[in-house]
Amino acid sequence: MRRLLLIPLLAGLVLLPACKRTPEHARVDAALAPLLPGDTVALACLRLDRLKGSPFYTKYVTGKRIKALDEFSQKTGLDLRENVWELVFSTNGKTSYVFIRGKFGGDFGFEPEFKGPGLQKTSYKGRYLIFTGDHGVVFMNTGAAVAGEVKDLKALVDGFDNPARGTPQAVLDLAGTLPGTAQFWAASTRPAALIPVGDGGPAMKGGEAMQNNLMRAAQSVSQVKLWGDLSHGLEMHVQGVAANEKDATALRDAFQAGVGMARLTMKDKQPEMLKLYDGLIGTTDGPIVRIDVNEPFELLDSFLSKLQIAQGAGAN
């Protein structure tokens, strides 16, 4: 009898590690995937749960050095540093959303409570909506929420009433070819949708020219995917599919020329920045163009610090 009782216990111990294994391929959380609009052409995911403990998370996320996180909290009342483990950005090229997976507080079955200056709350078609001005967050359940402009959030909820509503299977399938260990990743079946349209901003000298170059590069590839890791520094891989081998080679050469020009603008007193550019490598394989980045945290930190200083100076 004792031996019989041990059999299910041992089976459970064997199966337990398998349940916790990292998936082989990247995917959008099962609670978020059904919420994505059917016309989505680009997805980007950040796994905050996997970043915890890394030097980047400690200094920039916990250390509150990412301005966008503070602005998001002010607009929505939702602090992404607390009990949030996955963020998924989606866009169709015009309308964008941030899908949030986490635990938002409150008891099961009750609305979460958020307090902040100017925060308002209402119900839209039975869903809890908090907002400040034009931006807000709508809660789908106790573990899934969507952030965006209020008019877009309402349009998203309205879409659930459409029986013909579909899923963006093409871009989900593309994301499914990425490694499941990635801490951040992006995939697009229309890469130009990932490039922000408008002023490049005064903080980055030559920002408009850089934006135009990125747009031309994005329009010359049929799909793009990106994945990486911030555990010890910055490891990132970008892969685009051009129309042919000649176009892929032209893109690689343009990238290497851009890196060369950037090196020439560096001052002698910035040897760490020259080392940073040494970690940028462009290659091709037929119509596929690849860019690989491998930088230690010290170089990444130095670059981000200088970027923040430049943005601060440009804002004044």
Where is pLDDT greater, at 284 or 4?
284
* Average of per-residue pLDDT across 124-147: 90
**What number of other Cβ atoms are within 10 A of residue 226's Cβ?**
20
User: Structural domain tally of the chain?
Assistant: 2
- Domain identity same for 185 and 200: no
Would you say residue 33 has pLDDT above 90?
yes
- Domain identity same for 304 and 243: yes
Q: Which residue has the tokens 């307090």?
A: 115
- Domain identity same for 82 and 221: no
Residue 137 placed within a domain:
yes
Residue 252 placed within a domain:
yes
Q: What is the pLDDT of residues 46-95, one digit of tens each?
A: 999 999 889 998 888 888 777 777 777 777 777 777 778 899 999 999 99
DSSP per-residue letters across 217-246: HHHTEEEEEEEEE-SSEEEEEEEEEESSHH
Contact 102, 85 (CB under 8 A): yes
Of 158, 189, 220, the one marking the end of a domain is 189
Residue 2 placed within a domain:
no
Identify the pLDDT of residue 24. Answer: 86
- Domain identity same for 37 and 165: yes
Of 154, 189, 224, the one marking the end of a domain is 189
Q: What percent of the chain has pLDDT over 70?
A: 80
Identify the pLDDT of residue 197. Answer: 64
CA distance 172 to 145: 19
> What tokens appear for 195 in the block?
């490039």
Terminal-to-terminal C-alpha distance of the chain: 78
Considering the chain, what is the average pLDDT of its residues?
81
Residue 165 placed within a domain:
yes
- Domain identity same for 278 and 298: yes
* Average of per-residue pLDDT across 214-241: 91
- Phi and psi for 188 in degrees, rounded to 5? -150, 135
Q: Write out the residue range of the structural domain in which residue 268 sits.
A: 195-316
CA distance 138 to 141: 9
- Domain identity same for 66 and 203: no
Residue 206 placed within a domain:
yes
- Domain identity same for 85 and 130: yes
DSSP per-residue letters across 275-298: HHHHTEEEEEETTEEEEEEEEEHH
Of 189, 220, 244, the one marking the end of a domain is 189
- Domain identity same for 257 and 214: yes
Res. 112 pLDDT band, cuts 50 70 90? low
- Domain identity same for 36 and 184: yes
* Average of per-residue pLDDT across 138-165: 92
* Average of per-residue pLDDT across 148-172: 95
DSSP per-residue letters across 77-108: S--TTSSEEEEEEEESSS-EEEEEEE---S-T
Q: What percent of the chain has pLDDT over 90?
A: 45
Q: Which residue has the tokens 């082989």?
A: 24
Full-model pTM: 0.83
